[in-house]
Structure 1
Amino acid sequence: MIIMNIIIIICNNLKQDNHEEYTSESLYHRYLSISPSLRI
């Protein structure tokens, strides 16, 4: 869960850069695609 929070923080930073809005579902898919080896 700590890793997931870090991913959310990173995605929030990306959101600010891209002015896009991410849902929790898209965040989760992004999390799975970015770090499959870190799955909990």
Structure 2
Amino acid sequence: MFKGYMNQVILPMDLSYKLQENDVAFAVNDLVESIPDEAFNCF
């Protein structure tokens, strides 16, 4: 399963914007990455 959303380069990215180390986005990313691939095989 492809999970490359954190490194996407399709949309314009403002390189002057940088997340703080304690930003909630990192917690959300860790949570999403912890979901096993089998959870998406519901078909």
TM-score relative to the length of structure 1: 0.35
Q: Kindly indicate which of the two structures has a greater share of residues assigned to helix.
A: 1
TM-score relative to the length of structure 2: 0.33
Q: Which has the higher contact order (CA 8 A, sep 6+)?
A: 2
